[in-house]
Structure 1
Amino acid sequence: MSTEVAASIAAKASRAAKAVANLTTEQKNAVLQSMANQLRLASATILTANKDEVAAASANGTSAAMLDRLTLTPERIEVMAKAIEQIIALPDPVGATRQIEQRPNGINIQKRRIALGVICMIYEARPNVTADAGALCFKSGNAVILRCGREAIQTSLAIAAAMQQALREHNLPDEVVSIVPDPDRDLMLALLKQDQYIDLVIPRGGEGLIRFVTEHSRIPVIQHYKGVCHLYVDQSADLNMALGLLLNGKVQRPGVCNALEGLLVNQHIAADFLPMVASALAQHDVIVHACKKSLSYFNQAQAIADNEFGQEYLAPEIAIRVVDDMDGAIAHIDQFGSQHTEVICTADSANAERFIREVDSAVVMHNTSSRFSDGGELGLGAEIGISTSKLHAYGPMGLEALTTEKYVVTGNGQTRS
């Protein structure tokens, strides 16, 4: 039964994708504005559904980080609507053409950007993904199948209903933005086998979900296992700047994937910097896991062994290590990082450039907060996810990452000898 239902959902989305592919940029933007308007109009309905789901999740012992992602407020719904309006303002990647070459025989070769087709989003307690993914996929010419986790299904259904109302206003099928009404795992497994209809799967959630989807999918998967982000404070760093980057990256919103989980401190400044860190983190009740070289600077830190780094806490909690030099920092990141976001604080431009060049991460930053590792903050509009695998996208994924290119070859009758 699950296979039949999945095949029906996927086939309808595939047909709907053809309707989107024929729309002009102006038509797509008009639909997107209707989506933003409908979200605002449906705010009360969405919040009612969300309130019930947050209460149920809290009663079931859901973590603080997950509850934060699940919870919507009038302000967060307005942010969702404004994110759609930001997408309207972005250039449409579909149809963009670049010249490759004109061959000696006269044939002309170009590459033209096209939609992927059908994208399946699989996510947990993140109802905002429903709006973000729906809008991004639509602007980039794709249909999307949204499979939300059980914790947020009613909220996501309410959001999708608002977006589908906008589609109907413009004579487009609901299946352009379809949501799987049943979070049953067997149905999700069946969807992952629909490679004849679905072109890409993007899971967003915990590491367990991403690994499960990757292991069971017949369809290419964009992977983002976890966000273990580090700040390395170099010998020449402005210590006040470094402290600001640390606090913003760790305590501003600790439950998100671009929050800092590790602090690396050059040994030559440890005696000056770590007392500042200890005082500041204590004021924010941050739990500290300290290496043996840094443990004495903290009153209540927990000792951490050299092989215990690399945890994604998603909480007011951080691991701290004193390193000998840049080599030690890069070696630590190579071993324990997750290819998400890494930050260096330094006044030495050569060290900054070396860090940027040698650290293997989707986003590398110099003297700025890890919290800017986000599609919206990087000018992409609402992001559909952050890829920590390198095919076909790396880092925050906006509109262009939801398209590909095809060759367009024109001539005047040339034949190959």
Structure 2
Amino acid sequence: MNTLLSIEKRNAVLLKMAVLLEQERQALIDINKVDLDSYTGDDISMFDRLKVDNAKVDEMIKAVTHLASQVDPVGVERFSFKHKNGMQVYNKTASFGTVLIIYESRPDVTVEAAGIAFKSGNKILLKGGKESLRSNLKIVELWHQALKEQDTSTDWVEYLQFNRTETQAFLEKPSQKVDLIVPRGGERLIDFVKEHATCPVIISGRGNNFVYVHKEADLNIALEVIMNGKSKISACNAVDKVLIDKNLSNKDEFVTNLISKLKASNIEVLGDESISKENGIEAITSDAIWYEEFLDYKILIGEIASNQDTIAMINKYSGGHSSSIITTNEAEAQLFMENVDTAAVYHNASTRFTDGGQLGLGGELAISTDKLHQRGPIGLQHLVTNKWYVHGNGQIR
């Protein structure tokens, strides 16, 4: 196990990484271009996530710089107790030890997730996808350079160049101790990790997010929120399903307007039985589609009878990620927010804010749809476990 580095050393490595990313900006973009040119798949959202341009490098630099400015998440006192026998008891945060991050196509994860894991005192094992191998190896080379310049072991950041079979073997029988695994990617990746892992896994599950337009909705807000929800189709916080209250006044006019706006943005619009019949759009052939996360230029609109029905529908079909109610009625909003079982619930705002940076955490390792040990964006302060510190002077029980 690596000995915990001082916070000064961890911050110095992060700041050095920011300098190196700036120095090697063009080299990284050029190497990434080779990955992009070699990508033969037809998954548009994967291609989108694979790309590194100037804006993406700016984000990487910002992420590590911001991490360096944050307080140390390790050793934070969470509880203290003075035993009647004189012992002083504390519970403090502690790093996990070694964190394995398995992800697809996103070179920025090699910066941001590794940075969060490192800052919280963990050794990081990175297992990226083959489509981004060149970009990832370049970034890991920069991590190693930053570590070396601080006279620190390069073991803190390790890249696992494994194929699927080797990954499975490592998950089932790790060749080194792994304390936590965070898979970031599609359902197939997550199911694969859950099936084979022998240590705790934080599930960063599917999105499949819903917006409910309540009968007392401000229709301008509803339009803006839905359109914004489709502004980045590769994001797990994108909107896939819209439920419209059948008692909404001007419902027909609103739906017509919404559909034309979506189509103008090249988004394929599907409808349930009543919406498709009234608006001449393609009808769904099975209810199973309500479970699907699209990650595509595609949206499904349905009609619903009430807030209670909406809550039940979201709790049945959504991925447990994000959901939003558009209403001017505070009591209805509260009912929705308290009872919808998703990691983030919104009132009159876009689901696209479910993101560590947007919710004040700086950045995120993943967005957990699990309930243990942290739900929603996993920030720096969540990538820790805890430990009991008990100080005595000979007490026995």
TM class, shorter-length: over 0.9
Structure 2 residue 120 is the aligned partner of structure 1 residue 140 = yes
- 40 and 309 in structure 1: CA distance in 2 versus 1, 3 angstrom threshold: same
Query: Secondary structure of the equivalent of 2:126?
Result: strand
Cα distance in 1 for partners of 2:125, 2:41 equals: 29
Taking only the aligned residue pairs, the percentage that are identical comes to 36
Structure 2 residue 37 is the aligned partner of structure 1 residue 55 = yes
Cα distance in 2 for partners of 1:236, 1:304 equals: 30
Query: Secondary structure of the equivalent of 2:291?
Result: coil
Shift of 1:276: 2.2
Structure 2 residue 259 is the aligned partner of structure 1 residue 278 = yes
Q: Counterparts of 1:379-390 in structure 2 under 5 Å? A: 379-390=360-371
**2:245 is matched with which residue: 238, 247, 266?**
266
Give CA deviations for 1:146-194 in whole Å, capped at 9, x if unaligned: 01111111110001111111111001111111112x2312221232122
Q: Which residue of 2 aligns with 1:45?
A: 27
**8 A Cα contact 1:262 1:319, kept in partner:** yes
More deviation in 192-201 or 322-331?
Answer: 192-201
Q: Which residue of 2 aligns with 1:336?
A: 317
Query: Secondary structure of the equivalent of 1:188?
Result: helix
Letter of the aligned partner of 1:32 in structure 2? L
Q: Counterparts of 1:188-337 in structure 2 under 5 Å? A: 188-192=167-171, 193-194=173-174, 197-250=177-230, 252-269=231-248, 270-337=251-318
Q: Counterparts of 1:20-169 in structure 2 under 5 Å? A: 21-23=4-6, 25-57=7-39, 60-169=40-149
Structure 2 residue 343 is the aligned partner of structure 1 residue 358 = no
Q: Which residue of 2 aligns with 1:397?
A: 378
Query: Secondary structure of the equivalent of 1:390?
Result: coil
Cα distance in 1 for partners of 2:329, 2:281 equals: 33
Give CA deviations for 1:179-232 in whole Å, capped at 9, x if unaligned: 12x231222123212286110011111110110011011111111231111111
Letter of the aligned partner of 2:232 in structure 1? R
Give CA deviations for 1:15-37 in whole Å, capped at 9, x if unaligned: xx32xx131x2322121110111
**8 A Cα contact 1:95 1:113, kept in partner:** yes
- Taking only aligned residues, the RMSD between alpha carbons, in angstroms, comes to 1.5
**1:185 is matched with which residue: 145, 164, 169?**
164
Q: Counterparts of 1:402-413 in structure 2 under 5 Å? A: 402-413=383-394
Cα distance in 1 for partners of 2:365, 2:220 equals: 34
**8 A Cα contact 2:263 2:269, kept in partner:** no
Shift of 1:297: 4.4
Letter of the aligned partner of 2:10 in structure 1? K
**8 A Cα contact 1:153 1:183, kept in partner:** no
- 297 and 246 in structure 1: CA distance in 2 versus 1, 3 angstrom threshold: farther
**8 A Cα contact 2:11 2:119, kept in partner:** yes
- 304 and 241 in structure 1: CA distance in 2 versus 1, 3 angstrom threshold: farther
Cα distance in 2 for partners of 1:98, 1:63 equals: 44
Letter of the aligned partner of 1:255 in structure 2? S
Cα distance in 1 for partners of 2:71, 2:324 equals: 29
Q: Counterparts of 1:1-12 in structure 2 under 5 Å? A: none
Query: Secondary structure of the equivalent of 2:205?
Result: coil
More deviation in 88-97 or 146-155?
Answer: 88-97
Query: Secondary structure of the equivalent of 1:187?
Result: helix
Cα distance in 2 for partners of 1:298, 1:163 equals: 54
Q: How many residues align?
A: 394
Query: Secondary structure of the equivalent of 1:178?
Result: strand
Give CA deviations for 1:261-301 in whole Å, capped at 9, x if unaligned: 11011111133421221121121121111011211343443
Cα distance in 1 for partners of 2:144, 2:212 equals: 46
**8 A Cα contact 1:144 1:178, kept in partner:** yes
Letter of the aligned partner of 2:48 in structure 1? D
- Mark the runs of 5 or more structure 2 residues left unpaired by the alignment: none
**8 A Cα contact 1:278 1:297, kept in partner:** no
Query: Secondary structure of the equivalent of 1:129?
Result: helix
Give CA deviations for 1:339-363 in whole Å, capped at 9, x if unaligned: 1111111111111111111111111
Cα distance in 2 for partners of 1:22, 1:85 equals: 18
Query: Secondary structure of the equivalent of 2:71?
Result: coil
- 195 and 274 in structure 1: CA distance in 2 versus 1, 3 angstrom threshold: farther
Give CA deviations for 1:379-406 in whole Å, capped at 9, x if unaligned: 1122111111112221110112210111
- 254 and 264 in structure 1: CA distance in 2 versus 1, 3 angstrom threshold: same
Shift of 1:85: 1.0
Shift of 1:110: 1.3
- 272 and 109 in structure 1: CA distance in 2 versus 1, 3 angstrom threshold: farther
Shift of 1:87: 1.3
Shift of 1:45: 2.1
More deviation in 271-280 or 84-93?
Answer: 271-280
Letter of the aligned partner of 1:87 in structure 2? L
Cα distance in 2 for partners of 1:332, 1:238 equals: 22
Give CA deviations for 1:85-104 in whole Å, capped at 9, x if unaligned: 11122222111113332233
Query: Secondary structure of the equivalent of 1:219?
Result: coil
